[in-house]
């Protein structure tokens, strides 16, 4: 248990450092966008290359992909029902934020520090399904309600999915792993060096984007969203944790993934489709804080 608490302490310290760098105007929030692109398109794929080269994929792990996709559909349906009385813009904005999770920036640094490659393969498979939800389902919801029931651009959605570097990396490394094809040592060595930067950069980005100020006029709506997201997430996570007949790491993955923060793509979509970016940012920041607290409690009470 000491290793869990130690990793949480390290992570919080780096997040605070990122926040202080922004507060003292050493690093600006807009510069965090460049760092985010580096993490999602360079350090994270390298981390996946190294991690998946060191482990053997069990066929049952592919079930995590489908669970993530099924959960996305379920959460989206619940969101559209619960927020049905809101105006189209608000309903679409909240419904697009419910299904996806921030795994690459938030969960991976913790998982890497606590479980290493073993944990990353489980969370990586769940994130593959999560990526399909983020670039497919949530994009459709965001586009549909922003345009007031006009048809979403499915060609653009297909392009987003097919050009997602993290998703393509998941697919390639999984296929190579199943085919028992080993990448050249040079590729693995270089990837290993770059992958070491993933954890600190991801946590610094969380700190840079962290904003503790929010508009109190939206407090009721934010509270409703958070109550729905975490009540369902905890209920589903605990239910599957106790019922599924799989090994502990498989069940830990679901228990943790269902209470992770909202995905960073939500903010990008809110900008693209002219949603309330301040409200989206407020919710995203609140979920980071709540998820960290819940993960610490779970780590000390269940794991």
Query: Do residues 170 and 108 touch, judged by C-beta distance below 8 A?
Result: no
Give the number of other CB atoms < 10 A from CB of residue 53: 18
Phi-psi region of 62 (alpha: psi -120 to 50; beta: other; left: phi over 0): alpha
Confidence bin at 2 (pLDDT 50/70/90): low
- 3-class secondary structure for 21-67? HHHCCCCCHHHHHHHHHHHHHHHHHHHHHHHHHCCCCCHHHHHHHHH
Confidence bin at 3 (pLDDT 50/70/90): low
Reply yes or no on whether the pLDDT at 143 is more than 90: no
Residue 78 and residue 166: Cα distance in Å, rounded?
28
Quote the tokens at residue 65: 């992909």
In this predicted structure, which of 103-112, 218-227, 238-247 has the lowest mean pLDDT?
103-112
Q: What is the dihedral of CA 134, 140, 146, 149, to 10 degrees?
A: -160
Mean pLDDT of 134-163: 78
Query: Do residues 121 and 57 touch, judged by C-beta distance below 8 A?
Result: yes
- Alpha carbon separation from 186 to 193, 196, 277 (Å, rounded): 11, 16, 43
Identify the DSSP state of 274.
Answer: T
Q: What is the pLDDT of residue 118?
A: 82
Is 71 strand, coil or helix? Answer: helix
Is 265 strand, coil or helix? Answer: helix
Residue 145 and residue 257: Cα distance in Å, rounded?
27
- In this predicted model, what pLDDT tens digit does every residue of 158-183 receive, in sequence order? 787 788 888 889 889 988 988 889 89
Query: Do residues 262 and 133 touch, judged by C-beta distance below 8 A?
Result: no
Residue 173 and residue 176: Cα distance in Å, rounded?
5
Candidates 217, 224, 235; CA nearest to 276 is 217
Q: What is the pLDDT of residue 167?
A: 84
> Which residue's structure tokens are 């049905």?
84
Phi–psi pair at 197, nearest 5 degrees: -85, -10
pLDDT > 70 fraction of the chain, expressed in percent and rounded: 96
Reply yes or no on whether the pLDDT at 1 is more than 60: no
Query: Do residues 109 and 198 touch, judged by C-beta distance below 8 A?
Result: yes
Reply yes or no on whether the pLDDT at 257 is more than 90: yes
Residue 282 and residue 2: Cα distance in Å, rounded?
32
> Which residue's structure tokens are 């979403």?
152
Confidence bin at 148 (pLDDT 50/70/90): low
Residue 147 and residue 168: Cα distance in Å, rounded?
29
- In this predicted model, what pLDDT tens digit does every residue of 69-121 receive, in sequence order? 999 999 999 999 999 999 988 999 999 999 999 998 889 888 888 888 788 88
What is the pTM assigned to this prediction?
0.86
- Alpha carbon separation from 111 to 103, 222, 268, 282, 294 (Å, rounded): 10, 28, 25, 25, 15
Quote the tokens at residue 257: 């993934």
């Amino acid at each position: 248990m000491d290793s869990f608490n130690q990793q949480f302490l390290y992570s919080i310290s780096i997040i605070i450092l990122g926040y202080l760098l922004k507060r003292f105007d050493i690093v600006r929030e807009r510069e965090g966008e460049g760092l985010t692109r580096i993490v999602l398109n360079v350090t994270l794929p390298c981390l996946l290359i190294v991690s998946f080269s060191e482990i053997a994929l069990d066929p049952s792990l592919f079930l995590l992909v489908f669970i993530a996709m099924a959960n996305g559909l379920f959460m989206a349906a619940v969101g559209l029902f619960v927020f049905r009385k809101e105006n189209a813009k608000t309903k679409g904005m909240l419904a697009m934020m419910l299904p996806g999770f921030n795994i690459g920036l938030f969960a991976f640094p913790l998982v890497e520090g606590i479980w290493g490659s073993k944990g990353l393969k489980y969370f990586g498979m769940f994130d593959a399904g999560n990526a399909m939800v983020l670039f497919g389902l949530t994009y459709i919801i965001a586009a549909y309600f922003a345009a007031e029931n006009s048809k979403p651009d499915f060609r653009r959605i297909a392009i987003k999915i097919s050009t997602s570097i993290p998703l393509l990396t998941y697919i390639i490394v999984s296929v190579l792993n199943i085919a028992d094809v080993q990448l050249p040592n040079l590729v693995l060595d270089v990837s290993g060096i770059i992958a070491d930067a993933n954890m600190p950069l991801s946590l610094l980005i969380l700190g840079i984007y962290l904003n503790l100020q929010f508009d109190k006029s939206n407090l009721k709506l934010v509270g409703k969203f958070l109550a729905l997201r975490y009540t369902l997430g905890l209920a589903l996570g605990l239910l599957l944790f106790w019922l599924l007949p799989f090994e502990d790491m498989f069940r830990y993955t679901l228990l943790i993934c269902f209470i992770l923060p909202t995905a960073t793509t939500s903010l990008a979509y809110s900008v693209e489709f002219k949603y309330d970016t301040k409200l989206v940012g407020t919710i995203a920041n609140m979920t980071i804080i709540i998820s960290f607290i819940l993960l610490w409690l779970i780590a000390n009470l269940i794991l």
